[in-house]
Structure 1
């Protein structure tokens, strides 16, 4: 067994991944709450381009989060296999 696949190493990777997932969820929550808000200099009209950019950013964040959650499941499965 290599150092890379020890249970302790995998648990550390899992903990690091959990931190990253938590941060992405926080950012996603922030983006969702700001979605469609006007800036300080706005006259109350959101430009279509700005809204599209916001929505694209949210979608990209969700896609990254999905990948990280899949990676987390894989790490958990490896840890369970070692137990």
Structure 2
């Protein structure tokens, strides 16, 4: 038995990654849209710590997306090499 994934397994991994990337991009878009919004009980002032936390979360999310895109590219290369 080989440790190498089949082309169908690679395709499934790519499909799974595409779904995960799409969800993270959706969440990123939501976070970008909310960035700097005041809460319902706010007096109109955004705390520096809150803004920093939001920006850090957005940056971390983008870093995860970048890693997943690299993984997807690697799987695409394996799939193309198997053809």
Instruction: Give the Cα separation in 2 of the matches to 1:4 and 1:13.
Output: 13
Q: 2:34 is matched with which residue? A: 34
Instruction: Give the Cα separation in 2 of the matches to 1:2 and 1:81.
Output: 16
Which consecutive residues of structure 2, in runs of 5 or more, have no partner in the other structure?
A: none
Instruction: Give the drift of 1:6.
Output: 0.7
Instruction: Give the drift of 1:4.
Output: 4.4
RMSD, matched Cα: 1.2
Instruction: Give the Cα separation in 2 of the matches to 1:45 and 1:38.
Output: 7
Instruction: Give the Cα separation in 1 of the matches to 2:72 and 2:12.
Output: 12
Count matched residues: 83
Q: 1:65 is matched with which residue? A: 65
Instruction: Give the drift of 1:5.
Output: 1.6
Instruction: Give the drift of 1:2.
Output: 2.6
What does residue range 2-81 of structure 1 map to in structure 2 within 5 Å? 2=2, 4-81=4-81
Where in structure 1 do 4 or more consecutive aligned residues deviate above 4 Å? Answer: none
Instruction: Give the Cα separation in 2 of the matches to 1:3 and 1:11.
Output: 16
Instruction: Give the Cα separation in 1 of the matches to 2:39 and 2:4.
Output: 47
- Deviations along 1:11-55, one digit per CA (max 9) or x if unpaired, are 000000100000000000000000000000001000000000000
